[in-house]
Amino acid sequence: MPTITTKDGAQIFYKDWGKGQPVVFSHGWPLNADAWDDQLFCVASNGYRAVAHDRRGHGRSSQTWDGNDMDTYADDLAAVIEALDLKDIILVGHSTGGGEVTRFIGRHGTSRVAKAVLVGAIPPLMLKTEANPEGLPLSVFDGIRAGVAGDRSQFYKDLAFPFYGANREGSKVSEGLREQFWLQSMQVGIKGSYDCVKVFSETDLTEDLKKFDIPTLFIHGDDDQIVPIVAAARIASKIVKDATLKVYPGGAHGLTATEKDKFNADLLAFLKA
């Protein structure tokens, strides 16, 4: 399997499809690069180089005990980009991956980056605080940790329903898509999965967003039950200078799958713009 080795010795698995301007994808928790396969196929089929990695602890990458934090996630992304010598990149991040992209820009700048797309992304901060009253209470994330530490297999099966909006009346989300979510989730090491809950809920990315100086597109569903839009894209898109926010009415958190054709068309339009 193609991997790169980070400075702490972790092996990071990656996919590298097609040729052209590179589009680099960062996945959400608790998934892996396979969650982007439809988009990788789409952009690689349209003249771009599609790259996606498994975050440490997830999928085929090393299940490290330490390093499950946003700075290290961003540095791992930088290691992949530098090892493949990618330039003029379009970064695409979903959910926690959107936080990873944001922290990457905050730590490493945009010298190699042309554009960014943040989808159902966690920035600026998911946790409810005095300064962030629209966030979610800590009890929500404690519940997620309890699910991971308990019967995580059943927890992931249950989580797939709100993730894709399959718990909404009239939903057409297939059992296959929900089983795919479970399969990828079960490939995450329990330590990486548990630690990542704190990462995606408590990492404040406000200052990182202020460092964006590239065209940036936010895409978010207004029925996202995992990362509610009110404390995420509604705020983040105002922090990033000249950012564009595209709201999917009734859109779920996993809209890259549930509204694949619409999302792929919007992504390609932004790549070509």
Write the DSSP symbol of residue 263: H
User: How far from chain centre, in Å, is Cα 96?
Assistant: 4
d(Cα 233, Cα 55) in Å, to the nearest integer? 23
225 and 162 Cβ atoms separated by less than 8 Å: yes
Active site residue 201: no
Residue 115's H or E segment, with its range, is strand 113-119
From the candidates 16, 208, 224, 237, which is the catalytic residue?
224
Write the DSSP symbol of residue 124: S
| Buried b or exposed e, range 84-122, using 16+ CB within 10 angstroms | bebeebbbbbbbbbbbbbbbbbbebebebbbbbbbbbbb
From the candidates 26, 95, 201, 237, which is the catalytic residue?
95
Question: Hey, is 73 helix, strand or coil?
Answer: helix
Torsion angle (degrees, nearest 10) of CA 169, 174, 178, 179: 150
Active site residue 171: no
Active site residue 95: yes
From the candidates 53, 94, 220, 253, which is the catalytic residue?
253
Q: Which pair of tokens denotes residue 15? A: 């996919």
Catalytic site positions:
95, 224, 253
